[in-house]
Amino acid sequence: MSTAEPGHTIAVAVQTPAHSGMGDLLTYRSAQPLAPGTLVRVPLGRREVLGVVWEALAAPPEGVDLRAVAAVLDGIAPLDAHWRRLVNFAARYYQRSLGEIALMALPPQLRDLQPEQLARRLRRPAPTAQTDAAAVPLVALSAEQENARAQIAAQPGPFLLFGSTGSGKTEVYLRCVQAMLAADPSAQALVMVPEINLTPQLEERFIARFGATSVVALHSGMTNPQRLKSWLAAHNGSARIVLGTRMAVFASIPQLRLIVVDEEHDASYKQQEGARYSARDLAIWRGREQGAKVILGSATPSLESWYASRPASADDPGGRYLRLHMPSRIGEGALPRLRVVNMNHQPRRTVFSAPLLAALQERVERGEQCMILLNRRGYAPVLHCADCDWKSDCPHCSAHQVFHKADRTLRCHHCGFTVRVPRACPGCGSPDITPIGKGTEQLEEQLATLLADVRRPDGSPVRVARIDADTTRAKGALEAQLAQVHSGETDVLVGTQMIAKGHDFRRITLVAAVQPDGAFFSSDFRAPERLFSLLMQAGGRAGRDAQYIASQGSRGELWLQTFHPEHGMVAALRQHDYIAFAEQQLQERRDAAMPPFAFQALVRADARTQEVAQGFLLAASDAAYTQGLPGLGDHVTLYPPVPLVIQRVANVERVQMLLESDNRPALQHFLAAWQPLLLALRNQPEHKGLVRWLVDVDPLAI
C-alpha cells in the first residue's frame, strides 16, 4: 500500500447510494499516475471506501478542492479493459450506476480488509496452475458428442448445445475446456451453473479431470475469505478454470477463452435484487467482446435462445447462435416414458393416486429409487378456520403464512415473519383450525404412512426423505442428503425444484409430479415454458444409468397427475418433443408480440402506501409524455401502473409499470432519457414515503 499526495487527477468508480444522483464517477487527486483499473481506497463522506480507477483526467475541475486518494492497492494488478467494458455495458444496459456494478463484482472482503491484512494475504505464494488431464482415462465420446465437440472447435459460435437429459453435455464441456487449455498455456475458462447446490458435483468432475490447483469456485455460499482467494486466483491467472453461479460472470478473468453456461434456461441466472442483470446474456456479450467462445447448454432451452439459434431459411437469415443437437442418451438408455393419471377419475382430495402408489411400491421392492416433485415447501400453504373463515395471513404481507408442522410454526416465505401455531382460532376461539393444500412436508409424512408396509429387497422398511430449503439450511446438510440418495439409503425422495435439475441420480427410475396444474392457465406468459422445462428436467432424473435399467428389466418413467390430461403440453411431454412445444409457444408469442419478438422493461415503485407508489409511477409516465422522450408512442409503449400479485411485502406496497418496444435500442434510449426524470421525481415532496424505485430490463416475471 502507498499513500497518495497531490499531483494527478483521476476519475474513480465507487459505490454511491442508490439513485443518489451523484453520477457514475467521482474525481480525486493522486500523488502518482494510476493506470485505469487500479484498486484504490478513497474518502467518501466520513468513510473510506474501495474504488476502481476508471480514467486519468487532463486537469482538475476549476474551483474544486479535490480530496486525495487514501491508498493504492499495489499488490493487485489493475483490472483490464475487457472487465471495465463489461461493467460499463452492464451498468448502461440494466440502468444502474457504474460504481454499483463495479463494486458488486468485487469480492466483499476486498472492501473490508485492513491494508496490512491484505498485504499478508498477497504475500502467500499462489499455487502453480497445472492440468493433469492426461492421467485421467477418458471415456469414448458418442457420435453426437464428437460432432458437437468438432463443431465447437471449428466454428466461432456462440453455440446452443441442445442435448436431452443424460446425453452427456457435461463431457462435451470437459473436452472443450481440455482442448482450450492444451492449445494455450495461459488460457482460462468460465463454467457457470444456475444454483449453488449444483456447484459441488460439477467441481468434483472438473477437479478429477484437471487437478485441484487449476479449478476455483465462485458463489455466494462461500465464506468471504474463500471468495477472495478464488477471485485473486482467477485475476492473476493461476486458476485456469472458474466454476460459479451468476456472480461469476463478473469475475476478473484476463485470459478468458471459453464460457460455458449450463442449464442456460434457468431463471436463477437473472438477478432479482439490486442490479437485475442476466448472467446468461452478459456471458454472450462478454464472449463476443473478449474473443471467447460461448456454449449455452440445456435440454429445454429458453425460447429466447431457441429462437436465436433458428437455422437460416429462404426468407430468414437465421439466428446468431449455432444449434448443436444431441437427442440420444449415453449408453443407449431410453428417455423416460410418460404415465398420465387423470385425477378427475380419482376420489376427491386424492394426493397419491392408486396407480402411482402401486408403481412406487413395485419400484421400492425391486430396490429402485423414486422421486416425488412438488414445488411448494412446508406442510400446508395456509391454516383455515371453517367457523369464521380466518386464515393464517401474514400481518406484514399480502400473503398467507405457511404451516410448518415439524416445528409447529407459521412462516411467511416472503418477509420471514414467524409465529407459533395458535392452539385455537385467533378470530373466534374455535379449536378446529385445519391445514389447506399440500406442501413437501405433508407429502413426506403421507408417503411414510402409505408405504409403511412396503419392504426393500433386504426386508428393511422403506426410507422416505425430503430435500427442500427447510431441510438444507444447515451447512453441509444438502451434501449429506444427496450422498444418502447416491448411496441408496433413500428409497423415495420428496422435494422441490432444487432436486429436479442437474443431479445425476443413477438409481432413480420413477419421477412423479403430483400437482403441476397451476401453471397450465397462469396469467404469466412464461409459466408454460417454466413448467415444461421443470417437468422435462425432473423426468430426466429417471433412468439415467442404462446398464442399471437393463439389469433391473425396467424403464424410467415420469408420472404426471393432472386434471387436464388433454392439455397440449401433456402431448408434447409424452413424445419428449421440446421442438414442437417451443414452436407452438413461439407462434403464440409472435401473434401476441411478446418476447423474443418484442422487448420489455418494468419500472417498480415500493412505498409505504399504494397511493404514493401509484402516484410516483403515474407522475413518471406523465413526465415522459410531457418531455416527449425519444421513441415514446412510435417504438415504446407505456402501460398503466398496477399492483404486483403480492402487492405488500414487509409492510411495503409494490406497484409496477410495463414498458414494451419493438426495438431494443429504442427502449434503451428511452430508459436512459427517462432516468434523470425519475431521479428528480424521487425528491419531490408529494412522493415522500417512497421507499425505492427500480428498473428491470428484460424481466422474467410480470
Binding residues for Zn(2+): 385, 388, 394, 397, 412, 415, 425, 428
CA dihedral 321, 671, 108, 177 (to 10 degrees): 10
Q: How far apart are the first and last CA of the chain?
A: 48
Q: Give the C-alpha distances (Å, rounded to integers) separating 74 from 2, 127, 292, 678.
A: 7, 20, 29, 39
Annotated binding-site residues read 385, 388, 394, 397, 412, 415, 425, 428
Place of cell 418484442: 598
List of residues 6+ apart from 632 with CB closer than 8 A: 624, 625, 638, 670
DSSP lists the bridge partners of residue 558 as: 338, 511
CA-based nearest residue to 415, from 435, 434, 433, 393: 393
Residues 207, 215: contact at Cβ < 8 Å?
A: yes
User: What phi and psi values does residue 588 have, to the nearest 5 degrees?
Assistant: -60, -40
Contacts 24+ apart (CB under 8 A), 23-28: 24/91, 24/97, 24/98, 24/99, 25/54, 25/55, 25/98, 25/99, 26/51, 27/57, 27/60, 27/61, 27/64, 27/66, 28/66, 28/67, 28/68, 28/69
**CA of 589: how far to CAs of 33, 278, 573, 599, in Å?**
54, 21, 20, 12
Strands 256-262 and 188-192: parallel
Handedness of CA 212, 218, 219, 224 (dihedral sign): positive
**214: Cβ contacts below 8 Å, ≥ 6 apart:** 129, 130, 131, 181, 239, 240, 241
* Whether residue 158 has a cis bond before it, omega within 30° of 0: yes
171 three-state secondary structure: helix
Q: For residue 596, is the peptide bond before it cis, meaning its omega torsion is within 30 degrees of 0?
A: yes
The span from the CA of 636 to the CA of 629, in Å, is 10
Beta carbons within 10 angstroms of residue 47's beta carbon: 7
Tell me the backbone φ, ψ of residue 508, rounded to 5 degrees.
Answer: -80, 125
The secondary structure element, H or E, covering residue 54 is strand 47-57
Beta-sheet pairing, 369-373 with 508-513:
parallel
Q: Which secondary-structure segment (H or E) carries 228?
A: helix 224-236
- Tell the burial category of 83 from Cβ atoms under 10 Å away from its Cβ (0-12, 13-18, 19+): buried
- Residue 475: count other Cβ atoms within 10 Å of its Cβ: 8
Q: Is residue 183 classed exposed, middle or buried when 0-12, 13-18 and 19+ CB atoms within 10 A define those classes?
A: exposed
Looking only at the bridges linking them, the beta strands covering 418-420 and 409-411 are: antiparallel
Contacts of 522 (CB under 8 A, 6+ apart): 528
- Say how far apart CA 539 and CA 544 lie, in whole Å: 10
Spatial CB neighbours of 273, under 8 Å, sequence gap ≥ 6 = none
Residues 356, 341 contacting (CB under 8 angstroms): yes
